[in-house]
Structure 1
Amino acid sequence: MALQPQGDESDDGMDEFMDKFTKQKYKGAFSEDSWQEEFDQIPMFMKKAPEEIDPLKNPELACLQSIIHDEDRPPEEQARSFKDEGNEYFKEKNYKKAILSYTEGLRRKCADQGLNAVLLTNRAAAHFHLGNIRSSLNDALEAKKLKPDHLKAVQRGAQCLVELRRYTEALQCCDEGLRVDPQDKKLQELRATADQLRRAVERDARKARVKEKKEREEREALRAAIRARNIKLLEPPPLPRRRSDEEEEEDEEGRALSVGLAELELDGLGVESPTGARVFLDGQGVLLWPVLFLYPEHQQTDFISAFSEADRFVDHLSVMFGDELPSWDTDRKYRPCDLQLYFEDEEKEELYEVSPASSLLEVLQHDRFFVKAGTPGIIVLVRGSAFCSHFLSGRRVHRLK
Structure 2
Amino acid sequence: MASPATQNDSDDDDLFAEAFTRYKYKNPFNEDTWEEEFDKIPMFMKTAPEEIDPEKYPELAHIQAIIHDEDRTPAEKAQSLKNEGNEYFKEKNYQKAILAYTAALKNKCDDQDLDTVLLTNRAAAHFHLGNMRSALNDSAAAKKLNPQHLKALIRGAQCCIELRNFGAAIQWCEDGLKAHPTDKKLQDLRTAADKHKRAAERDARKAKVKEKKLNNQKDALLSAIKARGIKLFQSVTPRQSGSDGEDDDEGSSTAIAELSLEGLTSHQATGAQVFLDEQDLLHWPVLFLYPEHQQSDFISAFCENNRFLDHFVVMFGEELPPWDADRKYHIQNLQLFFEDEETQTLYKVDPETSLLKVLQHKRYFVKAGTPSFIILVNGSSFWKQYLTGKKIRGL
TM (norm. structure 1) is 0.78
Deviation at 1:117, TM superposition (A): 0.8
Q: Residues 226-375 of structure 1 correspond to what in structure 2 (within 5 A)? A: 226-235=225-234, 256=252, 259-261=255-257, 264-272=259-267, 274-375=269-370
User: Conserved in 2, the CA contact under 8 Å of 1:83 and 1:102?
Assistant: yes
Which residue is equivalent to 1:90?
89
User: Conserved in 1, the CA contact under 8 Å of 2:239 and 2:252?
Assistant: no
Which residue is equivalent to 1:101?
100
Is 106-115 or 375-384 further displaced after alignment? 106-115
In structure 2, runs of 5+ residues without a counterpart are 1-23, 31-36, 42-53, 243-250
Deviation at 1:195, TM superposition (A): 2.1
Q: Secondary structure at the match of 2:366?
A: strand
Is 187-196 or 287-296 further displaced after alignment? 187-196
Which stretches of structure 1, 4 residues or more, deviate above 6 A after TM superposition? 37-42, 247-250
Which residue is equivalent to 2:65?
65
Deviation at 1:139, TM superposition (A): 1.2
Letter in 2 for 1:131: G
Q: Residues 2-401 of structure 1 correspond to what in structure 2 (within 5 A)? A: 33-36=25-28, 44=55, 58=59, 60-66=60-66, 70-235=69-234, 256=252, 259-261=255-257, 264-272=259-267, 274-400=269-395
Distance in 2, Cα, partners of 1:302 & 1:269: 19
- Give the % identical residues: 57
Distance in 2, Cα, partners of 1:91 & 1:273: 51
Across the aligned residues of Structure 1 and Structure 2, the Cα RMSD in angstroms comes to 2.8
Deviation at 1:123, TM superposition (A): 1.5
Deviation at 1:270, TM superposition (A): 3.3
When residues 319 and 34 of structure 1 are mapped into structure 2, their CA distance, relative to the original with a 3 A threshold, is closer
User: Conserved in 1, the CA contact under 8 Å of 2:276 and 2:283?
Assistant: yes
Distance in 2, Cα, partners of 1:351 & 1:34: 89
User: Conserved in 1, the CA contact under 8 Å of 2:335 and 2:378?
Assistant: yes
User: Conserved in 2, the CA contact under 8 Å of 1:231 and 1:364?
Assistant: yes
In structure 1, runs of 5+ residues without a counterpart are 1-31, 50-57, 238-246
Deviation at 1:204, TM superposition (A): 2.0
Which residue is equivalent to 1:14?
none
User: Conserved in 1, the CA contact under 8 Å of 2:304 and 2:355?
Assistant: yes
User: What are the superposed Cα offsets for residues 257-291 of structure 1, whole Å, 9 maximum, x if unpaired?
Assistant: 653426x3442113536322111100000011011
User: What are the superposed Cα offsets for residues 161-211 of structure 1, whole Å, 9 maximum, x if unpaired?
Assistant: 122221111110011111222222222222232222222222222122111
TM (norm. structure 2) is 0.80
User: What are the superposed Cα offsets for residues 56-75 of structure 1, whole Å, 9 maximum, x if unpaired?
Assistant: xx5x14324337x7443444
When residues 111 and 391 of structure 1 are mapped into structure 2, their CA distance, relative to the original with a 3 A threshold, is closer
When residues 121 and 389 of structure 1 are mapped into structure 2, their CA distance, relative to the original with a 3 A threshold, is same
When residues 188 and 283 of structure 1 are mapped into structure 2, their CA distance, relative to the original with a 3 A threshold, is same
When residues 133 and 216 of structure 1 are mapped into structure 2, their CA distance, relative to the original with a 3 A threshold, is same
Distance in 2, Cα, partners of 1:73 & 1:330: 95
User: Conserved in 2, the CA contact under 8 Å of 1:86 and 1:101?
Assistant: yes
Is 118-127 or 180-189 further displaced after alignment? 180-189
When residues 249 and 190 of structure 1 are mapped into structure 2, their CA distance, relative to the original with a 3 A threshold, is same
Which residue is equivalent to 2:10?
none
User: Conserved in 1, the CA contact under 8 Å of 2:116 and 2:146?
Assistant: yes
